[in-house]
Amino acid sequence: MAEHDRETHYVEKSSGSGAGWFIAGALIVVLIIGGVLYANGYFGTGDSVSIEMNAPSTDSGTAPAGDTDSGSGTGVEPAAPEPAAPEPATPADGQ
């Protein structure tokens, strides 16, 4: 019979840091807690929140007439001047 040489070779493998298993475990715990909260009705309390936005209307009934820029750079037409105050009434000189 022929004689065979047998050698044993050991190869070390790095199994990593295990962070993947830690993250998977944390995700499972979060899912379990979320399921318990959902089953107890925490997420569906039935209370409704209503938010209403009531802003004053800025519509004056007319559409803007293009660019009314008077050189001020704001694009807003200047206000019309107020009419002059009426003259005070004087007594009639019919005497």
Q: Given this model, what pLDDT does residue 45 score?
A: 62
Tokens linked to 48: 């409704």
* Integer Cα distance of 81 and 72 in angstroms: 17
Q: Given this model, what pLDDT does residue 36 score?
A: 93
Q: Given this model, what pLDDT does residue 44 score?
A: 72
Structural contact between residues 75 and 67, judged by C-beta atoms closer than 8 angstroms: yes
* pTM score over 0.85: no
Q: End-to-end CA distance of the chain, in Å?
A: 162
pLDDT digits (tens, 9 = 90+) for 46-69: 667 788 888 887 766 665 555 555
